[in-house]
Structures are given as C-alpha cells and as structure tokens.
Amino acid sequence: MRIGELSARTGTSRRLLRYYEERGLIASTRCANGYRDYDERLVDRVLQVRGLLDAGLPTRIIKQILPCLDKPRVIYFPDATPEMLATLEQERDRMTERVECLTRNRDAISEYLDAVKAYNGQR
C-alpha cells in the first residue's frame, strides 16, 4: 500500500510515517516510480508504535522492543543497557498506574449509569 493509505488507515500523518521510517521503526520498499510501498502488517506496527509513544517511550527504546511485539516473538537484548531497563521499568509502572486509574474511573461511570437507569426505571 502507498503512504497515503497507511496514513488513512492508522490516522498517522505522512510526515510522521516518514519519521518512523527514518528512525527504523517501520520499513518500506520502493516501487519502480520511487513511491514507497508498505506491507499490510505495518498497519498494526504503526498503531503499536503510536501507543508506545503515547505511553511516553522514546523512539530509541521502542526500536529495541519492537521485535517483542512480533509473532512469533523474538527477544533481542544485546543493546539492553541498565538505563534502558530502568526506563522500561518506570514506564511499565506508570502504565500500570494509568490502567488502574482508568479502571476505577470506568467502574465509577458504570455505577453511576446503573444508578441513573435504576432510578429512571430503565434497567
């Protein structure tokens, strides 16, 4: 697929997709006319990269953990520095806290909705 289709399917700008490619997070082949051609599997990869960036991970660490996201998983760790491991642990813990907060908020909204529906006889 061309970059425009990948952009549309992932909600990611073309410029950002080119940046991901520059950083080695995704790869394309070139058609005879010079256009980039992206494999179908990159739709999920781009969404994974965006999620990891949204979680606060820097691209240099995302590049190192991307093989862990593939099926079958291949764990590559020769470049795992103590700094990288500490960063990953901090980000994992921060994500866990966010998940717990979101779960509490979701549960509170559900309780509120249940109460309102019961009060209005909508159950």
Residues 47-100 pLDDT 10s: 999 988 888 888 888 888 887 777 655 566 667 788 878 888 988 898 899 899
pLDDT value at position 18? 95
Tokens of 83: 């700094």
Residues 68 and 94 in one domain: no
6 and 64 belong to one structural domain: yes
Residues 88 and 60 in one domain: no
Asked, as a colleague might, if the bond just before 67 is cis with ω within 30 of 0, I would say no
Q: Which domain holds residue 69?
A: 1-76
> Looking at residue 39, which CATH number applies to its domain?
1.10.1660.10
Shared domain for 66 and 8, answered yes or no, is yes
What residues are paired with 29 via a beta bridge?
Answer: 37
The answer to whether 31 and 37 are in contact (CB under 8 A) is yes
What local confidence, expressed as pLDDT, does residue 95 receive? 85
Q: What is the pLDDT, as a whole number, of residue 7?
A: 95
Contact in structure between 26 and 49 (CB atoms under 8 Å): yes
pTM of this prediction? Answer: 0.65
